[in-house]
Structure 1
């Protein structure tokens, strides 16, 4: 397949690929497979999943397009309902290229641009800005899947979102009925984006965004969400235990490869019990319950 019309895309042009499938599992699989090639958006539009990939700057067009085609051919050769179609390819100017305004389906919610005039019950006004947490990353999707799995236990819960980034997990927790969510981050860009998203969704009464180190936060909380790198997670293990009620829940995401198996014994030693795990490609997340309140001997690795 040749690239579509791309007149005046410029020397900094980037490849934009649009894919459609009617199978949600297929869409999530492709999101995971294409994540390393570029920025991803994924949207369920009336039963048809629309996936967009904007290739990273500097990626060779032909190489990237060939890789996408090969993944689709491999997927479609399996037969069954998990079929996907490459519906459009084009070059866009690198100076203006963005998927930020594209809707993203995550769990039972859809993140939509704040330019939309109305927000339906399953939609959340959202702008990722420069903050981590666009909603399209596997670690975010996994965290949301575990958050929704625990939703029936959270009607009166108090939740802590550690490293809240854009605030996407805080927003979804509030929309799931959580009474109070505290999001914390030390990045000024993230704080500004998260606060703007909270205001746009009229959730200021139930979400508070703080520029406060985790070590200075006072608990306890019924649920803690930690979509973090492994090194940061290790450093915060003692605080996560201190901030949780006995019987409280912890969602850990952002783990790759064998990292979940590596950190699980440390979590168990510090009073956590595994309730459920989730995987998407190389990414993993865990839902744990606090069964003890003893951090004795626990030190960062």
Structure 2
């Protein structure tokens, strides 16, 4: 594991962080920004190999005028998890997402979601995850969550929150086997039982996902381009009247995602922004029932029946 670092102002650090996060695939396995001094910030990008290091250096130096990025080889440990240790609990709507040490401080009236810091995305601290949790809470107020699909589940935080908000069952998938391994630990810690199904899958192209029929609530916290490409599959997997919660997109990427889903006759019913990140909520309309027209009586057809002639008028 390698770390690429640079010192700059806060706006530049956050902008470069967004650029690296928006890339698909990104050369950085994880990116963090933090205050270095009262007037400067540090951006750290964690990379798995030297090729990714050079790519990150090139991006950082080209995006920040006059910036010089340094890199170092790290000891063999999970630096993504290390960088997350000690994070405070996240409160999003009714949810209280935290590790075991923070959950001991939880007061009543909140929904606890036990997620330890780890390499799987989804501790609740990122604007996309928090936005999805808040949107999920709003949808749960409007209707029963019913059967839930969570595409790109990461730590399974969204699927677990949905189950704790009354979902009848949930299917949560991720392209990364390591994320599903972590998700299974989180599911066990949260006592999810057999109604939460976790599986490795690319997008929605999976027989188990399709065989469950259509879903009342679909969530996908991934990236803008995959969201656009999945719009057709997500639409087909959503029940009429169902809700779709999307995130993983930057604010300036909203138009392309909106266009892809609005083009499927889905209505945008909510949008929330947290920092540079957006969460969009769509609703699939109910099909209008068409009234059956009564069978036509041929004797009342003007071509066959003339009332004036019949009655001698």
Q: CA-to-partner distance for each residue in 1:127-157, whole Å, 9 max, x for gaps?
A: 2411111211011111111111111245361
In structure 1, how many angstroms separate the alpha carbons of the residues matched to 2:229 and 2:205? 10
1:103 has 2:103 as partner: no
Q: CA-to-partner distance for each residue in 1:254-273, whole Å, 9 max, x for gaps?
A: 11132112221221111210
Q: Give 1:115-130 correspondences, 5 Å limit.
A: 120=106, 122-130=111-119
User: Relative to 1, partners in 2 of residues 1:117 and 1:176: Cα closer, same or farther, differing over 3 Å?
Assistant: closer
Q: Which has the higher contact order (CA 8 A, sep 6+)?
A: 1
The structure with more radius of gyration: 2
Aligned equivalent of 1:45? none
Aligned equivalent of 1:86? none
User: Relative to 1, partners in 2 of residues 1:116 and 1:188: Cα closer, same or farther, differing over 3 Å?
Assistant: same
Residue 258 of structure 1 aligns to a residue whose secondary structure is helix
In structure 1, how many angstroms separate the alpha carbons of the residues matched to 2:90 and 2:224? 26
Aligned equivalent of 1:83? none
Aligned equivalent of 2:205? 215
User: Relative to 1, partners in 2 of residues 1:283 and 1:60: Cα closer, same or farther, differing over 3 Å?
Assistant: closer
Residues 157, 222 of structure 1: 8 Å contact kept: yes
Q: Give 1:206 deviation, angstroms.
A: 3.0
In structure 1, how many angstroms separate the alpha carbons of the residues matched to 2:145 and 2:276? 34
Q: CA-to-partner distance for each residue in 1:140-191, whole Å, 9 max, x for gaps?
A: 1111111111112453611100000011111111121212111011201100
In structure 1, how many angstroms separate the alpha carbons of the residues matched to 2:103 and 2:182? 20
Residues 128, 166 of structure 1: 8 Å contact kept: no
Residue 250 of structure 1 aligns to a residue whose secondary structure is strand
Aligned counterpart in structure 2 of residue 66 of structure 1, from 35, 39, 64:
39
Q: Give 1:10-89 correspondences, 5 Å limit.
A: 56=32, 61-62=36-37, 65-67=38-40
The TM-score normalised by the length of structure 1 is: 0.65
Aligned equivalent of 2:59? none
Q: What are the ranges of 5 or more consecutive residues in structure 1 without an aligned counterpart?
A: 1-11, 15-31, 39-54, 69-93, 294-301
Residue 271 of structure 2 aligns to a residue whose secondary structure is strand
In structure 2, how many angstroms separate the alpha carbons of the residues matched to 1:232 and 1:246? 23
The number of residues matched between the two structures is 225
Aligned equivalent of 1:283? 277
The TM-score normalised by the length of structure 2 is: 0.62
Residue 150 of structure 1 aligns to a residue whose secondary structure is helix
Q: CA-to-partner distance for each residue in 1:6-63, whole Å, 9 max, x for gaps?
A: xxxxxx9x9xxxxxxxxxxxxxxxxx9986799xxxxxxxxxxxxxxxx949x8944x
Aligned counterpart in structure 2 of residue 141 of structure 1, from 130, 136, 153:
130
Superposed CA RMSD in Å reads: 3.5
**Structure whose residues are more often helix by fraction:** 2
In structure 2, how many angstroms separate the alpha carbons of the residues matched to 1:33 and 1:194? 33
In structure 2, how many angstroms separate the alpha carbons of the residues matched to 1:239 and 1:197? 27
Aligned equivalent of 1:114? 100
